[in-house]
Structure 1
């Protein structure tokens, strides 16, 4: 076996591990960083399935880059595995919206490079979602419709879904399972993100971002090319509210 064949086999070994589990270990991280031939092959393999290799200090991850990737998690899959029976697109929209707000809560703006906080409590996350919902509600109806068309994102459904849940002032903190409450919904979102290795549960109702999440946020989440301007829209709402209060 010659040198090139060894590199191809080693790269393919790592790729098959990633394709099977979506994560690889630190030894593979070192190979990926130190060996240009293996790194190039792995990136090429990932590109062929519309995915990318993301590396952190401890792991390699195979992340779908487009909906065409066989590793893409579909809305229907999320509904089946995480949301209650009868879940609709409104639940999916709110799950994505809540995730955007959660990720943004760790940064001083949606354009900053590094997180500015170590953790957030679920109740603070819930308060931030409530603030953004109120900002959306304050927009003129025609403006909201325009933004829905611009982003292909149904802001009205998000507002209605959130408002249909129990009020944040009710004693719903300990209610989970089948209880329809804002807390239980965010608990479901947290479980989804935790099982995707994007957040870690610190206990005492505190959650933190993983290295995987921080890498993805820095590499893709902040880029307009990928978020289609949604983050800018949400952050501009916050900025307008702050200006109005000054």
Structure 2
């Protein structure tokens, strides 16, 4: 489709601002974003760098979709900025699991698009322990099959979480311990830095509007992510899961 030069320039202006800042307020770009051709062309630009453009009531966001995107944060950068010294890729995968569980705390195991107002650090920890316990209760054969199907090393993740020192959960400086709670606090800092989590104080956290938009408009509809969450939450109903297989 051929676009008028004015439309191309308008779409590039929108895309370039998103590329530079990661997001823009709708108020300042309403004259551009209201044009369907501008939105479509800007989305095309984003697709060429493995990104997508989404929006909520107040803002427009450029979201990387693949590790090869120049806007994607590398594993090394995440480990350096948010995890303890010596962190490995397994720590990264455990953080990813912790994020899935965190989102699940709001969305009733991914069955509702209306999130709860907030979750506490303690309830997040409880839910994480529940998920790991449910995983550990499955047979090694089931876990190995799930590893093959989903490319996730469930056995190693169980061991990694189990090895974290639960005795230190009451330490005053969790950032200096290797406890499970300290790991969740590191994950919390990552989510907060990405504008996905709001710290309400008193160890209560809520999702930002950006997070709600990403999780409901993209993440929960992405087949691979859904297959992982479906497996995680099918652990509550093993008989039903076995029947489906």
TM-score over 0.5 for the pair: yes
2:67 matched residue in structure 1 = 67
Contact kept? 1:22, 1:63, Cα under 8 Å: yes
Counterparts of 2:174 and 2:31, CA distance in 1: 43
SS for the counterpart of 1:222 is: helix
Counterparts of 2:29 and 2:233, CA distance in 1: 34
Contact kept? 1:198, 1:213, Cα under 8 Å: yes
**How big is the alpha-carbon RMSD for the aligned residues of Structure 1 and Structure 2?**
2.2
Counterparts of 2:91 and 2:235, CA distance in 1: 22
1:27 is the counterpart of 2:27: yes
For structure 1, list consecutive stretches of 5 or more residues without a partner in the other structure: none
Counterparts of 2:43 and 2:152, CA distance in 1: 31
1:154 matched residue in structure 2 = 153
Query: Comparing 48-57 with 175-184, which one deviates more in the overlay?
Result: 175-184
2:138 matched residue in structure 1 = 139
Call closer, same or farther: CA 1:13–1:19 in 2, change over 3 Å: same
SS for the counterpart of 1:98 is: helix
Superposition deviation, residue 126 in structure 1: 0.4
CA deviation profile, 1:203-244 (whole Å, cap 9, x unmatched): 1111001111111111222225241510100111123499xx
1:81 matched residue in structure 2 = 81
TM-score under structure 1 length normalisation? 0.89
CA deviation profile, 1:67-91 (whole Å, cap 9, x unmatched): 2211122222211211111101221
Contact kept? 1:11, 1:38, Cα under 8 Å: yes
Q: How many correspondences in the alignment?
A: 239
TM-score under structure 2 length normalisation? 0.90
CA deviation profile, 1:57-110 (whole Å, cap 9, x unmatched): 111110012222111222222112111111012211110000000001101232
For structure 2, list consecutive stretches of 5 or more residues without a partner in the other structure: 241-245
Superposition deviation, residue 118 in structure 1: 0.5
